[in-house]
Amino acid sequence: MGKKTQDLGIGEHTSSYIRRPMLVEVVDIIYRFFTPMLGTVPRDRKIYERFVEKYKPKEITEDESVTVPELSEKEKAAIKKELGDAVAKEVEEAGWTGFRKDEKGLFLYDYVVRGFLKEAGNNLKEQLGVVRLKDKITKHVFVYPRRIYLGTMDDQGGFIHKKKPDDMLERPLRAETAKGPRVALARSDVVFPGTVFKCTLLRLLGPKVSMSVLDSIQDYAMVQGFGQWRSGGYGRAEVISFVVRPKPYMMKIKDGLPVLYEKPAA
């Protein structure tokens, strides 16, 4: 058999066999927050070098389950007494998380949504009757684009990029340590309810993660959403649009980015 050159949108491909490209099913999805979302990115890039690893009690966990929502003047005074004025000032300036930002506005990286999908799959696997659902989502469901922008929707359904946070939330972190009770100050930028973000989910064709399952796990965002302090009710969202494109797609790389295109007719 002679070699065949196939134009599959991925550049010249010469072989003695018929290449079967990877096919994906595509979902366009829009999430809308109904509780405020807190930023997760340290505004001070050296916070871990200068403060966190040195002073943060190891008992404090990521979900901040031992935090309280408001910071009174009395609590501020307690922080200064506990840590000392110099350290308290350093924490106030350094322990501040926000959002990633570029010339378009605030954004989340794709792994934030992937992390949510895997967490949802892990916690709903028994209810949905799918074993090892988290692992299957990891290997069969992907999120695009790389940068997912935060914004609002206008009356015509257009997307308006959010250029800056809406507010800031300040709260103390408390924990019992070997040296006794410790208190540290945390501060996070906030985006208000009504903020939306849009992304695209790619599901590998096959039975591992059905479209029904992928749709069902989106409900988990209503109880355990995105960002910091999720156990405190922050970052909860609803899916306001879940649109499955009618045909499977193939992928290629253009200008260093993945591009979707329809499978050519046989």
Task: Give residue-wise pLDDT tens across range 102-143.
Answer: 999 999 999 999 999 999 999 999 999 999 999 999 999 999
Of the candidate ranges 43-52, 106-115, 118-127, 150-159, the one whose mean pLDDT is the lowest: 43-52
Integer Rg of the chain from CA = 23
Q: Give a yes or no: residue 48 inside a domain.
A: yes
Cis amide prior to 248 (ω within 30 degrees) = no
Contacts 24+ apart (CB under 8 A), 174-183: 174/66, 174/67, 174/68, 175/57, 175/59, 175/60, 175/66, 176/57, 176/59, 177/57, 177/58, 177/59, 181/82, 182/57, 182/82, 182/83, 183/75, 183/78, 183/79, 183/82, 183/83
In the predicted model, is pLDDT for residue 194 greater than 60?
yes
Q: Give a yes or no: residue 179 inside a domain.
A: yes
Q: Give a yes or no: residue 122 inside a domain.
A: yes
Task: Determine the Cα–Cα distance for residues 80 and 61; give it in Å rounded to an integer.
Answer: 22
Q: Give a yes or no: residue 203 inside a domain.
A: yes
Q: Give a yes or no: residue 1 inside a domain.
A: no
Domain count, the chain: 1
Q: Give a yes or no: residue 4 inside a domain.
A: no
Q: Yes or no: say if 94 and 51 are a contact pair by the CB < 8 Å rule.
A: yes
Which segment, 33-47, 61-75, 171-185, is predicted with the most confidence on average? 33-47
pLDDT top residue among 96 and 150 = 150
Q: Yes or no: say if 187 and 169 are a contact pair by the CB < 8 Å rule.
A: yes
pLDDT, average across residues 204-227: 94
In the predicted model, is pLDDT for residue 5 greater than 80?
no
Mean pLDDT of the chain: 81
Q: Give a yes or no: residue 266 inside a domain.
A: no
List the domain range (segments joined by +) for residue 104: 27-247
User: Which residues touch 34 (CB under 8 Å, ≥6 apart)?
Assistant: 193, 222, 236, 237, 238
Q: Give a yes or no: residue 120 inside a domain.
A: yes
pLDDT top residue among 77 and 50 = 77
